[in-house]
Structure 1
Amino acid sequence: MLEGLFGEEDLTSSRISEPSKPGIQSPPRPRYQCGLAGISNQGATCYLNSLLQTLLYTPEFRESLFDLTEDELGSFDSNDIPGKKVRVIPLQLQKLFTRLLLSNQQSISTTELTDSFGWNNKEELQQHDVQELNRILFSAVEASLVGTSGKDLIKRLYHGTLVNQIICSVCGKVSEREEDYLDLTLTVTGNNSLEEALYGSFVDMESMDGKNQYKCESCNKLVNAKKGAKLRSLPEILSISFLRFSFDYQKMERYKEEHSSEYELFSVVIHKGGAYGGHYHAFIKDVDSLGKWIHPDEETIQLPTDPSTGEVDYIEVDSPVELIQAILVRNHVLTIDKLCAEISKQTGVSWNKRFRKNFGPIVKFLEKNHDVFVFDPGSNRVSLRNSTKMKADEEQNSLTTTAEPRIKRPQSPIPMPGQAWFNFDDSRVSPIREKEIEKQYQGKESAYMLFYRRKTLTRPKEAEGNPAYKVPDNLVTDIIIENDELSRKSGSSDKAIIMSVNSKFHKLICIINSQTYKSTSNLTDTSERAQDYYACITAL
């Protein structure tokens, strides 16, 4: 399905740039309150975005990638040097990861990365299977790193070994065939839990008898035997994918199945929809505490504004939850018909055309998001459940409204450091409660791939809460310049906020450099500039 998805590495881009929209361009929106950045969807790249966020928040993969220097990877500036090899895919991954960690933007584009894959607009508008993409992407990364110190990065972190066995019931001879795996594939049908699926795949053995007898070389005849697969070695990062799609031979169509260890779960890639379409997003544990977890019902929603009018730009609100919240803040209570009319009026597109494919009918969507909205089937009215804060990009004050009185539930405790979970849904990043993950084994919205880390993989203290940890200085310098440019574009009201973000990253580089180099004479100009810059900001 994905054959040829990654072309030869080439610095030239096949993308035809789109003409810019007339009028004043809105500056990029700053990060969400949680402090983490999303990834923009290029049309149907949610599957790619979910995988990239998972790789970013796999500390061992991220830091191994950043350990690769320009001497090994080359640089974009050395493209014209004869005989100089430029490894574009790892360079673009480094650049993307740095922006996701440090750039003060709500979401980051992946167009430069997908250009390095050799993708065209057709690929970006066609959804693929995230498990298959995972294997193809790893293969492309491995090929890009041949001859570097990172040549065994994928094998060291993700490769395991399983053995297929056939045991003769007469003489007891065991025939084995080993094979490597990047992820374990488990069936959903007939299993009620992950444990059952693992037991059925790697503990239970199939009987070979009757017409299915086995020809034993030692016995030199057909005999009864046992056949099964066993795990011989496990990787540092264990990936599990579910076979959720089956084929109905009567209807002749695919359909979706809806049915404490030495590893700990840290990412769940979720698929919602059917066998022929849908949407991917990912629940990811913030192992290094890079984000700020707040109670989901207290989260501030940032709304884009039209620079020419200062009003909320409803067309740019890409989350249906945020869109309905924004409308209800101003209208308080609406019937379903009036809500749908307001969506069409403000965005120019109906709910069915814009959201139904990925989120279903609006009534079911409201019922599913009962923690945000109150829907009364009798009166067909909808309102906000809680007092919801909505912050426009150009102002610090917020609009609030309160739905019908109710008894407030006690809040769940704030997760311990390294234990907070976030939902990465394209450009939208939001905190979630851990109990939400338990609901993802079956249903139309369900876990598709699981990623586990060995519990023995400990994290250094310096990495906690430090998004610049191990990021090369030259990449951080680029982001500082980028954030300064964002500061100018956003205007004076946001300048202090963006500059304070820059100062934080400058200070982090000082810490990193002081830990990396033994003498102050080895500190880079970046860190020296950071001290002056930070002192200037703190005086504001």
Structure 2
Amino acid sequence: LESVWSKVALHLLYKGLCYLTLSTVFTGMRGLMNYHLSCCVNSLLQTLSATCEITDLLDRGDGRNVPLHLKRALAAMRADVPQPALHRDFLHCLDQNCFRRKINVQHDADEVFFSILNFIQQQMDDKALAQEIQNLYKISVETYLQCLECNSVQTRTSYMLSLPLYVKEDYNSLEGCMNSFFKHQELRGINCCFCVQCETKKPSKQGIKLLSLPRILCMNLKRFRNRCGSTQKLDCMVTFPETFDFSETLKEVFSADFYTLYAVVVHSGYAMYGHYTAYVRHRENKRWYYADDSHVEQVLQNTAYMLMYRRDSEEEGRQPELSG
């Protein structure tokens, strides 16, 4: 990173205690007011503002409802003024589209992310442009089911807009979470599946294979668990690198796909009474900033929830690991 402040921020992230001081004098970085528990939407808007690819595509087209007000909100966030950017129209638009039915209830960041992308797909006038936006995040996968007796394979091609990675209750690494996600599972006993070739239920194995990766790779660390009728959150440590090489994690699929971290959505607190903030890497000066609604300064211990990586055009050197 290019500045001393950025190096300090990344070092503190690695230690698990994130002490970042924001100042409104930093060019192009604006906060957002928290209206009716809108911290979840605010954090995602900060990551979208740092995604130059999506802002450029939105600027090229016209739309109504959500795409229109998203375009205006992101443009306001790029203005070089110290006051928080105005985005109430965007929040109101989400309410009108029956997304935030209960505006005083905190929403899941992953759910809000998918909803925004779906609204763009549905409501943009230029459908080709809307598809380009979705393709920025589109992960093509193949699910397979293989009979362990006759070895016949059934496959289905689909796509995801983020990788749902489940974390364990102890120490985790991003590479370990990904390996667990793509590891096949054997289905035996009552879990046996019907084999078309054998014409009866047989032991089998199922799994997911990657077919292609997008320009922007979103990973959702699944920290919430339903236990005994209540939702609980895992505050365990997850280490993740700033630069990620898929050829090392999934050697059988990719030759060399290098990604660099540029945004992190953070969740602190409990499952039902938490708070969302975001770390973003500025699109121009490449420095890291911490966004906590309209506040310019914050000290707290954070838990990474969503990671946004951008595919590099050229191979970059290894960087220190982060954690959160």
Shorter chain as denominator, the TM-score bin is 0.7 to 0.9
Task: In structure 2, list runs of 5 or more residues that go unmatched.
Answer: 1-22, 237-243, 246-257, 316-324
Q: Aligned partners of 1:228, 1:156: CA distance in 2, in Å?
A: 23
* 1:32-84 deviation line (CA, Å, top 9, x unaligned): 1223211111131000000011001101011111122xxx44xxxxxxxxxxx
Does structure 2 retain, via aligned residues, the 8 Å contact 1:44–1:126? Answer: yes
Does structure 2 retain, via aligned residues, the 8 Å contact 1:34–1:430? Answer: no
Q: Aligned partners of 1:134, 1:50: CA distance in 2, in Å?
A: 10
Q: Which residue of 2 aligns with 1:426?
A: 293
Q: Aligned partners of 1:431, 1:128: CA distance in 2, in Å?
A: 22
Out of 263, 268, 274, the residue aligned to residue 267 of structure 1 is 263
Identity among equivalent positions (%) equals 29
Q: Structure 1 pair 431/273, CA: closer, same or farther in 2 (3 Å)?
A: closer
Out of 241, 245, 248, the residue aligned to residue 224 of structure 2 is 245
Does residue 198 in structure 1 map to residue 175 in structure 2? no
Does structure 1 retain, via aligned residues, the 8 Å contact 2:121–2:127? Answer: no
Q: Structure 1 pair 429/206, CA: closer, same or farther in 2 (3 Å)?
A: same
Deviation at 1:194, TM superposition (A): 1.2
Amino acid at match of 2:175: E
Task: In structure 1, list runs of 5 or more residues that go unmatched.
Answer: 1-30, 74-86, 290-417, 437-443, 459-540
Does residue 111 in structure 1 map to residue 60 in structure 2? no
Does structure 2 retain, via aligned residues, the 8 Å contact 1:422–1:431? Answer: no
* 1:183-205 deviation line (CA, Å, top 9, x unaligned): 11111125611111100111x21
Q: Aligned partners of 2:122, 2:168: CA distance in 1, in Å?
A: 36
Please list every run of at least 4 consecutive aligned residues from structure 1 whose deviation after the TM superposition is greater than 6 angstroms: none
Q: Aligned partners of 2:160, 2:138: CA distance in 1, in Å?
A: 6
Aligned pairs (5 A) from 1:30-429: 32-35=24-27, 36-68=29-61, 72-73=62-63, 87-119=64-96, 123-189=102-168, 192-202=172-182, 204-249=183-228, 252-259=229-236, 260-261=244-245, 262-289=258-285, 418=286, 420-429=287-296
Amino acid at match of 1:230: K
Structure with higher strand content: 2
The alignment partner of 1:49 has SS state of helix
The alignment partner of 1:97 has SS state of helix
Q: Which residue of 1 aligns with 2:8?
A: none
The alignment partner of 1:33 has SS state of coil
Deviation at 1:238, TM superposition (A): 0.9
Deviation at 1:129, TM superposition (A): 0.7
Deviation at 1:122, TM superposition (A): 7.1
Q: Which residue of 2 aligns with 1:343?
A: none
Deviation at 1:228, TM superposition (A): 1.2
Q: Structure 1 pair 170/282, CA: closer, same or farther in 2 (3 Å)?
A: same
Report the aligned-residue RMSD: 2.5
Q: Which residue of 1 aligns with 2:312?
A: 455
Q: Structure 1 pair 286/430, CA: closer, same or farther in 2 (3 Å)?
A: farther
For the pair shown, the structure with the greater C-alpha radius of gyration is 1
Q: Aligned partners of 2:187, 2:150: CA distance in 1, in Å?
A: 15
TM-score normalised according to structure 1 size: 0.47
Count of aligned pairs between the two proteins:
270
* 1:360-410 deviation line (CA, Å, top 9, x unaligned): xxxxxxxxxxxxxxxxxxxxxxxxxxxxxxxxxxxxxxxxxxxxxxxxxxx
Structure with higher helix content: 1
Amino acid at match of 2:290: N
Does structure 1 retain, via aligned residues, the 8 Å contact 2:66–2:116? Answer: no
Q: Aligned partners of 1:54, 1:275: CA distance in 2, in Å?
A: 22
Q: Aligned partners of 1:450, 1:255: CA distance in 2, in Å?
A: 21
Does structure 1 retain, via aligned residues, the 8 Å contact 2:167–2:222? Answer: yes
